[in-house]
Amino acid sequence: MRQDGAHQPERRMKSVQAVVDTNVVLDIYSITDLSRAHESGGDDDTPERLFRRVRLRESLMLAWLFHVTHAVTVSLPNELQRLAARHAPPDAKGTVELQHMQLSIYLQKDLVLSNWVALMENVDEGLVGSKADAALLDLCRKYRAPLITNEGYSVAGVSDSHGLRAKAISAGIRVFTPRQYWSGKIGETSTRKFLARYDAVSKRFVRRQNSTSAVKDAVSLRRAILQHVFFGHTKGATLPVRLPDSS
């Protein structure tokens, strides 16, 4: 994972709006958790499948907010690299999960969401678990910024009773899920704006890359996955995604 903004010193001067936990970044880049929820087969929307789709949707809408507001955020690079490799092993070439993550970085993040400056601060080398949590909270204190995390968010709702959310609250740090953070700032129409920009940018991306049919197919599949995540649509289906109250 690259460090965005490394060659944009003038944009670095803008204050950091939020510290973003790795689980949120992975929801923006990865479909592995959603894929695993569908491994059992069948077409029914189980609570776990619906939850995974909704969580991805909420995280992608957060990314859109970061883009339209030219936000600067900070995350932990080493934890992200370690968990991203687990979600989409780099040597597992040709898998949907790896293709999706690559396009999420090089097409979606770098081009579609190009106004979002996602910085990585290398303060977590060798840190896991509670030590990585402490590094996140230290970044919140350093930048006087809120924490955005999906920890404590499950099918049952959002719990502040334990884990990172409880630690943040105890330390006097504001903590949000992605949906809690963007609620009141952007609306549901943002998903259509996101897709419209993806369509326009991806067409230019394919033309500039003189892309092979395999790349074109991957870009189209990525678009279909976004359509499914945003609206619950699959080919031949028209029912919208049902959203639980996760505020």
Q: Residue 99 belongs to a domain with what CATH number? A: 3.40.50
What is the domain range of residue 28? 14-185
Using alpha carbons, select from 150, 240, 153, 181 the residue that is nearest to residue 61. 181
Is 37 inside a domain boundary? Answer: yes
Contacts of residue 72, defined as CB under 8 A and 6 or more positions apart, other chains included, come to 5, 11, 12, 14, 15, 16, 17, 117, 119
Q: Is residue 226 part of a domain?
A: no
Contacts of 122 (CB under 8 A, 6+ apart): 77, 78
Contact between 201 and 76 (Cβ < 8 Å): no
pLDDT of residue 38: 64
Q: How far is 113 from 132, CA to CA, in rounded Å?
A: 27
Structure tokens at 150: 């999906």
Does residue 128 form part of some domain? yes
Q: Which CA distances in Å does 244 have to 26, 56, 63, 132, 177? A: 21, 13, 20, 30, 14
Q: Which of 239, 227, 161 is nearest to 196 (CA)?
A: 227
pLDDT of residue 40: 61
Give a yes or no: residue 206 inside a domain.
Answer: no
Whether 240 is in a domain gets the answer: no
Q: Convert 131-153 to b/e letters by CB count within 10 Å (16 or more is b).
A: ebbbbbbebbeebebbbbbbbbb
Asked, for residue 205, whether it belongs to a domain, the answer is: no
Computed over its alpha carbons, how large is the radius of gyration of the chain? 18
Could you tell me the pTM of the whole model? Answer: 0.85
CA atoms of 26 and 101, how far apart (whole Å): 9
> In Å, how far from its chain's centre is CA 161?
24
Give the pLDDT confidence score for residue 141 in this predicted structure: 97
Q: Is residue 8 part of a domain?
A: no
123 in any annotated domain: yes
What is the per-residue pLDDT for 95? 76
What are the residues whose beta carbons fall under 8 Å from the beta carbon of 150, sequence distance 6 or more?
21, 23, 24, 27, 55, 59, 177, 178
Predicted local confidence at residue 242, as pLDDT = 38
Q: How many domains does the chain have?
A: 1
pLDDT by residue, tens only, the chain of 247 residues = 444 543 344 444 479 999 999 999 999 998 877 776 666 655 567 788 888 889 999 999 999 999 999 999 999 998 888 887 787 777 767 777 788 888 888 899 999 999 999 999 999 888 888 999 999 999 999 999 999 999 999 989 999 999 999 999 999 999 999 999 999 999 989 999 999 999 999 999 988 877 678 788 889 988 988 998 998 755 444 333 333 333 3
Record the tokens describing residue 136, joined without a space. 């996140």
